Structure 1
Amino acid sequence: MNQPNIIVVLVDQMRRDALSCAGDPNVRTPNLDRLASRGVRFTSACSTFPACVPFRFSMVTGEYAHSRNVPALGYRLSPAEHTLGDALKSQGYATAYIGKWHLYSAYGVSGGLTLSQASRTPIPASHRRGFDYWRGFELRNDFYDTAYFVDDDPVPRRLPGHQTDGLFDLAAHYLEADRPEDQPFFLLLSVEAPHPPFMASEQSLKRVRDRGPMVPRPNVDLAAISFFPPEWHEESGPAGKVDPDDPASVARVAEANMQAYYAMIEMIDDNMGKLDTVLEQTGLADNTVVVFLSDHGELGGSHGLLGKAEPWEESVGVPLIVAGPDRYVAGHGATASVPVNTEDLFPTFVGLTGGSASARFTGMNLAPFIRGECAEPVRDGVLLEFVTETRSNRSYYDETWRGIRSDHLKYTVIGDRAGARPWQLFDLSTDPYEMNNLVDQSAGADLAADMHGRLIGLLDRSGDDYALAPAFGHPARNAVVPDAEVARSI
C-alpha cells in the first residue's frame, strides 16, 4: 500500500452530535456532512477524560491519563515521552503541527501563567517532540488575539483576523508551499473553537440568529442552570453579563452563548470546505486521508450543566470522521457504532500509515476496519475517567469518577480512595438523553452487576488502581480500609 498523507483536524469542545448529518437542527455543516459521505463516521466515539489537557496527553502518547496522574488542567508533557510524532517519523512521515498545544504551561493552577502569557511563551522542541514543522502556541482562548511561533524562533507572531480562519490559512500554506515533495506528511491542525469564549464572526453569528430560536434538547432547561463556569459569563460575550439569581437572565445568556457556539462550528465547517478546495487544487485529494474530531463535548445546559468534564454524553461524546480515497477508506457514507475512545487514536493514526503501534498500548487500531479489511470490531466497552482535579473550586476535587461506555450502555461510579460507589446506569438505545437512571432500580440490577464487572476488567487491563466499594455482588477493589477497621483486625 502506498502511504497516504494524513491531515487531522482537531477542534475543541465540539460535541458528537453537533453536525447536520448527526441530526442537530441548530447547526448547518454541509462540508463536514460531505466529508462523512466520503468515509466513516463513528457514532459512539468518546473522549476518555473529557477535558482539553488529558485528551491531548492521551492522543499524543497513546497512554491513559491515569498512567501519569494527569489532571484536568495544568500539565507539562515530559520530554521523555515517546510521542505520536516520533512514531509517525519512524514510518517515514514528515510531521507538522499547527495550533493549540496545551501540554506545556501551568495555566490554571496556582502560580501559573495567565492566558496571554501562555499564548506568548514559546514551547521548546524538547517538549513538543516529534513534530518538525511547528506553527503552534500553548493556548489563548481569545479568537482575535492569538500569537503563534514558527519552529524555534522565540518571537511570537500575531495571527490576523479570527483564529479559526488564521489557523486554517496556515494549514493551507503548508499544503501549498511548505510540505515536502519526497515523502508523505502527517499534519495535525488544532483549532480552539468552539471552546469559549463564544466569539464568532458577525456573519456567522447573524446566519445562526436569523434562523430563530434554537430547538432545545429534551434534557435541557436553560433557566435551571445553577453554575456558570467563568468562561461562560464574559461581559463582552454575545449576551453580556449574566445575573445568576435571575432565571430569565440565565436562560438569555445561555441561549445567546449556544447560538455563538453553533456559529463557531459553522465557521469551522466553512474552513473545512476551503481545505477541500486546497486539496483538490494541489492534487493531494487522491492521496490524503482527512480525520476530523474533537477533544471533548459541551453540555450546553443538558442536565442543568455547562462545559465539560462530566460523564454525560454531551460531554464525553465527540465527532470522529475518517475520510479519503477508496484505497485508504472503505464504506463511504458508513457509520460505525463500535465504542471508541482517546487511546484508540495513536494506534489508529499509526495504522493508517501501514504501521503498527507498540503492543504495550491498550488502544485499538481501527485502521484495518477503516480500510475495509475486516468487519466492524466488537468490544465490551471503553473506559471513561476523571483522574484528578487540582482546582478546589471545581467539581470532582474531592471525589472522582470512572465509567464504561459500550455501544448502547453506560455505567459510572463516583468516590474517593475509600471506594467509589455506583452512580449512573443508562440504556442509550432507549434513553439517548440519559433521563432514566437505572442504577438503583430493581429492573436494572442484573445489568448493573454485569457492567460493574466489565468496568473492573477495564480497570485491570488499563493498569488503573482506582478504588471501588463492593457493589452488586462484586468485592471491594483497592479501597482504603478505615483506621478503626485496621485496628480491629490486629
Structure 2
Amino acid sequence: SRNVPALGYRLSPAERTLGDAIKAQGYATAYIGKWHLYSAYGVSGGLTLSQASRTPVPASHRRGFDYWRGFELRNEFYDTFYFADDDPEPRRLEGHQTDGLFALAVDYLENRRDADRPFFLVLSVEAPHPPFMASEESLRRVCERGPPVPRPNQDLGAISFFPPEWHEESGPAGRVDPADPESVRRVADANMQAYYAMIEMIDANMGRLDETITQQGIADKTLVVFLSDHGELGGSHGLLGKAEPWEESVGIPLIVSGPETLVAGRGTTASVPINTEDLFPTLVGLAGGVAGGDLKGMNLSGFLRGKSPEPARDGVLLEFVTETRSNRAYYDETWRAIRTARYKYSVIGDRSGARPWQLFDLLADPYEMNNLVDLPEHIDVARDMHRRLTTLLDETDDDYALASAFGLPVRKAVSADPPEN
C-alpha cells in the first residue's frame, strides 16, 4: 500500500505507525529489539549491515515509541548491541540475543513501565534467523531427539544456491561442500536442528514473560500477540532461506492470547487466512481506536472479542519485492500470490525457465507438490484465483508486480488470464 519497490528503503518520518496510533489512545509505548526501517542499506548513500547495527535510530525515525531499547537491522546472536532511548553509546547484551531481549522486556514490565497507564510493548526478536545459532542447552535437547524427519517435498539434491552462512566454518556443522551430497545433508540437518533449538529458546522465554505478566498482577488485562515474519524452507522444493511463496516460508503463526474479557473463544482457529496488514487496524481496534487512513488491512478486533462473526474475504495478498543488496542477487525476482483457506495461486518471475504460474490445493496437497494450473478440471479455479489476485493488486496500487512473469506492460498483464495449453 506504500508502493515501495524494494527492500532497503528508509521509513519516512512523516509516516503514521502503529506506535503513533496506539500512543494516541493514551498508551505508553515501548519497543525492544530489531528495527528494520532506518538503515537504507543497498541504496545510494546507504549503510552496510555492520554499520547499521552500530548506528542509533534517531527519535525522528522511532515513530511513536517513547521507550526504546532497539537496534537497526542485524546483530550477531552472541554479540548483540542495542541503543537506549537517545543515548548514542551502544550497549552490549549479555549471553544469547534471545535471552537478552526477553530480559529487557521483563525489566520493562517489572521496573520501567508506568503502572497507572496501559502499555503497548513490541518485542522484536531476531531468532530464528540465519546464521542459526542457539544456546548449547537448547541445541543439546533438540539433538538428543535425533535428526529432523525429512519432509516429502524436501529435495536437497536440487539446491543450486547455498547462502553465505553455509560456507562458514562457524556454522552448526561447519562448511558445506556443495558437490558432496553427504555434506549437504549433514549441514542441512544441523542447521534445522539449530533452527528448532532457537524456537525452543523463544518458547522458554515466552513462558518466562507470561510468568512475569502474572506476577505483576496484570494478566487479567493484558493481551499477548505472537507472530513471525517468515519461516524457513530448509531444502523444501530444493530451496533454502525464505523469499519464496511456499508454505514453509509464508505460512507463519499468529497467536492471540489473553483473558476471556479480551479474547473470546479460547482455542478458536480462524478459518480464513490472516495477513500481517491486518495487525495495524486490529491492534488499534483492540486499544479502542480506529486505524483510519488508507490502510488495506482488516480490523479483526470485534471477531477476537466475540462481538462480530468471522469476516469473509477473497484471500490475502502475498508478495516479495526485489533486493537492493548486491550480495543478494539470488533474490532478483519478484512474485505475487493470493492464498485462500483452500488454494494458493502465485505468479513468479521466470528466472529458471519454469512456467511462473502455480496453483495448489492446500487441503489435499499441503506440501505443494502438484501444480494444478494446467489441469483442465482446475482451469475455472485458476482463472478465479487469477482474477482475485489482480483485483488485490489493483486495490493496493501495485503497478510493477507481474511484468517479469507475463512479459507485458503490467496494466495489460493484470487483465490477462493464465494461458491455456
TM-score by length of 1: 0.79
**Residue 389 (structure 2) aligns with:** 455
SS at match of 1:176: helix
SS at match of 2:330: coil
SS at match of 2:282: helix
SS at match of 1:335: coil
Kept in 1: contact 2:3–2:397 (CA 8 A):
no
CA apart distance, 1:434: 0.3
Kept in 2: contact 1:224–1:247 (CA 8 A):
no
CA apart distance, 1:444: 1.7
Higher mean C-alpha displacement, 364-373 vs 351-360: 351-360
CA shift in 2, pair 1:171/1:269, >3 Å: same
Indicate which of 394, 402, 416 corresponds to 2:329. Answer: 394
**CA distance in 2: counterparts of 1:442 and 1:86, whole angstroms:** 50
Indicate which of 403, 411, 420 corresponds to 1:478. Answer: 411
1:130 and 2:64 correspond:
yes
CA apart distance, 1:478: 1.2
CA apart distance, 1:390: 2.1
The one-letter code sitting in structure 1 at the alignment partner of 2:395 is: R
**Residue 42 (structure 1) aligns with:** none
**CA distance in 2: counterparts of 1:186 and 1:341, whole angstroms:** 20
1:196 and 2:127 correspond:
no
Kept in 1: contact 2:166–2:175 (CA 8 A):
no
**Residue 17 (structure 1) aligns with:** none
**CA distance in 1: counterparts of 2:267 and 2:284, whole angstroms:** 23
**Residue 419 (structure 2) aligns with:** none
**CA distance in 2: counterparts of 1:232 and 1:353, whole angstroms:** 44
The one-letter code sitting in structure 1 at the alignment partner of 2:68 is: W
SS at match of 1:251: helix
The one-letter code sitting in structure 2 at the alignment partner of 1:395 is: Y
CA shift in 2, pair 1:325/1:275, >3 Å: same
SS at match of 2:269: strand
For residues 380-437 of structure 1, give each alpha carbon's deviation from its aligned partner in whole angstroms, at most 9, with x where no partner exists. 101111232224553352x421111111111111349xxxx85110010101110000
**Residue 248 (structure 2) aligns with:** 314
**CA distance in 2: counterparts of 1:245 and 1:415, whole angstroms:** 27
**CA distance in 2: counterparts of 1:116 and 1:387, whole angstroms:** 23
1:182 and 2:116 correspond:
yes
1:330 and 2:251 correspond:
no
Indicate which of 30, 34, 38 corresponds to 1:100. Answer: 34
1:71 and 2:71 correspond:
no
**Residue 49 (structure 2) aligns with:** 115
For residues 8-48 of structure 1, give each alpha carbon's deviation from its aligned partner in whole angstroms, at most 9, with x where no partner exists. xxxxxxxxxxxxxxxxxxxxxxxxxxxxxxxxxxxxxxxxx
**CA distance in 2: counterparts of 1:390 and 1:277, whole angstroms:** 42
**Residue 214 (structure 1) aligns with:** 148
**Residue 193 (structure 2) aligns with:** 259
For residues 104-142 of structure 1, give each alpha carbon's deviation from its aligned partner in whole angstroms, at most 9, with x where no partner exists. 113456764343322211110111110000000003341
**CA distance in 1: counterparts of 2:176 and 2:110, whole angstroms:** 45
1:84 and 2:18 correspond:
yes
CA apart distance, 1:194: 0.6
Kept in 2: contact 1:286–1:325 (CA 8 A):
yes
Kept in 1: contact 2:75–2:81 (CA 8 A):
no
CA shift in 2, pair 1:287/1:372, >3 Å: same
SS at match of 1:478: helix
SS at match of 1:149: strand
1:152 and 2:152 correspond:
no
For residues 279-334 of structure 1, give each alpha carbon's deviation from its aligned partner in whole angstroms, at most 9, with x where no partner exists. 11110111100000001111111111111111111111111000000010011111
SS at match of 2:224: strand
Higher mean C-alpha displacement, 217-226 vs 124-133: 217-226
**CA distance in 1: counterparts of 2:44 and 2:12, whole angstroms:** 20
Higher RCO, Cα 8 Å, sep 6+: 1
CA shift in 2, pair 1:142/1:108, >3 Å: farther
Kept in 2: contact 1:468–1:479 (CA 8 A):
no
**CA distance in 2: counterparts of 1:468 and 1:159, whole angstroms:** 43
1:365 and 2:296 correspond:
no
Aligned-residue Cα RMSD (Å) equals 2.1
1:382 and 2:316 correspond:
yes
Kept in 2: contact 1:329–1:371 (CA 8 A):
yes
**Residue 11 (structure 1) aligns with:** none
Kept in 2: contact 1:141–1:197 (CA 8 A):
no
The one-letter code sitting in structure 2 at the alignment partner of 1:71 is: A
Indicate which of 235, 260, 268 corresponds to 1:301. Answer: 235
CA shift in 2, pair 1:359/1:102, >3 Å: closer
The one-letter code sitting in structure 2 at the alignment partner of 1:227 is: F
Kept in 2: contact 1:123–1:138 (CA 8 A):
yes
Indicate which of 280, 287, 291 corresponds to 2:221. Answer: 287
Kept in 2: contact 1:141–1:196 (CA 8 A):
no
**CA distance in 1: counterparts of 2:164 and 2:85, whole angstroms:** 33
For residues 316-369 of structure 1, give each alpha carbon's deviation from its aligned partner in whole angstroms, at most 9, with x where no partner exists. 111100000001001111111211112111111101112111052110011111
**CA distance in 2: counterparts of 1:443 and 1:233, whole angstroms:** 45
Kept in 1: contact 2:23–2:29 (CA 8 A):
yes
**Residue 418 (structure 2) aligns with:** none
TM-score by length of 2: 0.92
**Residue 353 (structure 1) aligns with:** 287
The one-letter code sitting in structure 1 at the alignment partner of 2:300 is: L
